[in-house]
Structures are given as C-alpha cells and as structure tokens.
Amino acid sequence: MKSLAKRLQVRRGRTRLADWKTDSTPECKGKDQANQQLAENLARIDELQYRLHAEARQSLLLVLQGMDTSGKDGLIRKVLTVFNPQGCKVWSFKVPTLEEAAHDFLWRIHRAAPATGEVAVFNRSHYEDVLVVRVHELVAPSVWKPRYHAINEFERQLHQRGTRVLKFFLHISREEQRERLLARLDDPLKRWKFSDADLVERRSWRSYQRAYEEALARCSPAHARWHVIPADRKWYRDFAVSQIVADTLEQMNPRIPKARLAVRNLRSRLAR
Ligand code: ADP
C-alpha cells in the first residue's frame, strides 16, 4: 500500500483545503479493515523502531497540526504510544514561555529535534508561528512572512543530516468540530478539555484554513511533504497515519549493525 502517502501528500496546485474531503477513506474498505491494518502497522513500527535505534544513524520527526479537536492527542494515545519511550519523545508546543519568546522562533523547536536513532513527535510545532501568529496578528507580516523560508531551510538541514520529516495535517470539518465540542460538554469525563479559547479559535475558522493552505503550499518540498489526513473518522485517521509511518520507516530501511565478536571466545569466557 505504498501509494497511500502519495495520495494524501500536498503537491503543487492541490492546496485548496476545500478540495480535500474530511470524511473520505482512501485505500481503505471500512472500519474493520482499518483496525486490522492498524494492528499490523503497529507491529511493523515496533520492529522498525528497534532497528532504527540499533542502527543509530537516522531519525524520524513526526509533526502534527490541526484545528482544535482534530485528534492530535487521540492519535498520540492510540497510535504513537507504539514507540518505545526509550527512543521517542513527544513535545507539545504551547504559547511560548518568556524564555522561548526571547529567542528566535526555531530555538525551542531545534532543541526538540530527534537525535540519531530517535523518534520525536511534535504536538503542534514551528508551524504555529505562521498559523496562530498570523491569524491573531501577534507579530507584523514582515516578521511572519519570511518564516516559510526559514522553516524550509530548517527542515532541509534536518533532512540532510538523516532526519525524515513527516508532517500530518489532521483535516476535520467545521461541523465535526462542533460535534466534538458538544461531546466534550456532554461527557463529564471530557468536560475538563473544554475551553472557551476553543470557541474563540472556532470563530477564526476561515482565517485558519487560509493560513494552513499557505503553510501547506509553501512548505511541502519532496523531502518533507505535508500529508492531509481525512480525520472526521478517527479509525481512518489512526489507520492512515500508522500506514504512512510504517511505510516510511520501511523505506528508511534501518539496519541492525553487524557485531564483530569472537563468539566462541566470549562463550568460553562466560562458561566460567
Ligand atoms: P492543545 O490545544 O495543543 O491541546 P492548549 O489548549 O494548551 O493545548 O493550546 C496550546 C495553544 O498554544 C494553542 O492555542 C496554540 O495555538 C498556542 N501556541 C502554540 N505555539 C504558539 C506560538 N508560537 N505562538 C503563539 N501561540 C502558540
């Protein structure tokens, strides 16, 4: 199923978000098949991460973006926990702290990039600096506009030193967001997740879609493409991301280094 990534990748001339369905299920015949495939993908990822760690030459960076309730947290909990925590770190990027804000916008991001053999997951990312910052005019256009270029340069550097950058935009409809926000209000166990801020952001839906369109269009070179994941159906979202991660790790083909050991000699020393 190598074609799934290609079908969901952003390429030139295909960046109007309205053209991407939020409830479609490419390369998938339904929920049962998706769940079965998900289990297989998780097994593949588990084995491939082991090899990535042993090889210690390459690394993998997963960037997650999406509107509130698009499922970034759910995806991490249901799929990305497959990664052995010894070789994987999850970073959540919130409103910059005073210290972070006193540096350039990539400072906090670069520190979180994965070391060789490791996986890093960004729950929100450097893209916030051309999304929320632009929508709410937190800085002047003359400050955020050059950031697309800076982001491309940064990701190119990561790629050149062996980091695969995989970017996922979890694409939900405005109606689906409404359902999910209502579900949070209905369920006492989910109510803590509800925030007034979500309603404020929801009012800027169109501006966010435009900001996403520009970020996706301008920052999707062949080595670090955005994937638009139809995310109204959670089971499809989980299947699709697991599939692309597993296929990418397979392409990276991490190899367990050959150990040069005098096995007989070592065995005999262990006999004593
Ligand atoms: P989340 O929604 O990710 O679960 P929060 O509810 O704490 O977590 O939201 C984090 C907030 O931080 C988001 O509104 C996001 O837009 C904001 N944020 C992240 N990065 C930046 C940034 N560079 N500048 C301003 N706000 C940011």
Q: What is the pLDDT of residues 134-184, one digit of tens each?
A: 999 999 999 999 999 999 999 999 999 999 999 999 999 999 999 999 999
Where is average pLDDT lowest: 12-26, 115-129, 151-165, 201-215?
A: 12-26
Alpha carbon distance 79, 121 (integer Å): 12
CA angle 104–105–109, rounded 5-degree value: 115
pLDDT band at 13 (very low <50, low <70, confident <90, very high): low
Alpha carbon distance 134, 41 (integer Å): 37
pLDDT at 264: 94
Residue 244 has pLDDT above 80, yes or no: yes
Per cent of the chain over pLDDT 90 is 96
Q: How far does the centroid of ligand 1 lie from the alpha carbon of residue 67, in Å?
A: 11
pLDDT band at 1 (very low <50, low <70, confident <90, very high): low
pLDDT at 272: 76
3-state SS of 158-221 is HHHCCEEEEEEEEECCHHHHHHHHHHHHHCCCCHHHCCHHHHHHHHCHHHHHHHHHHHHHHCCC
pLDDT at 6: 94
For residue 125 and ligand 1, the question of a CB distance below 6 A is answered with no
pLDDT band at 81 (very low <50, low <70, confident <90, very high): very high
Residues 55-64 pLDDT 10s: 999 999 999 9
Q: How far does the centroid of ligand 1 lie from the alpha carbon of residue 70, in Å?
A: 14
Q: Whose CA is nearest to atom 24 of ligand 1?
A: 95
pLDDT at 15: 78
Q: Whose CA is nearest to atom 7 of ligand 1?
A: 94
Over the chain, what is the mean pLDDT?
Answer: 96
pLDDT at 12: 73
Domains of the chain as residue ranges with CATH: 3-255 (3.40.50.300)
DSSP H helical segments within the chain, as ranges?
3-8, 31-55, 72-78, 98-101, 107-110, 132-135, 141-144, 147-160, 174-186, 196-203, 205-218, 234-252, 263-271
Residues 227-236 pLDDT 10s: 999 999 999 9
Q: How far does the centroid of ligand 1 lie from the alpha carbon of residue 96, in Å?
A: 8
Residues 111-129 pLDDT 10s: 999 999 999 999 999 999 9
- Beta-carbon contacts of 24 under 8 Å, excluding residues fewer than 6 positions away, are 230
Q: Whose CA is nearest to atom 12 of ligand 1?
A: 94
Residues 28-41 pLDDT 10s: 999 999 999 999 99
Alpha carbon distance 61, 159 (integer Å): 10
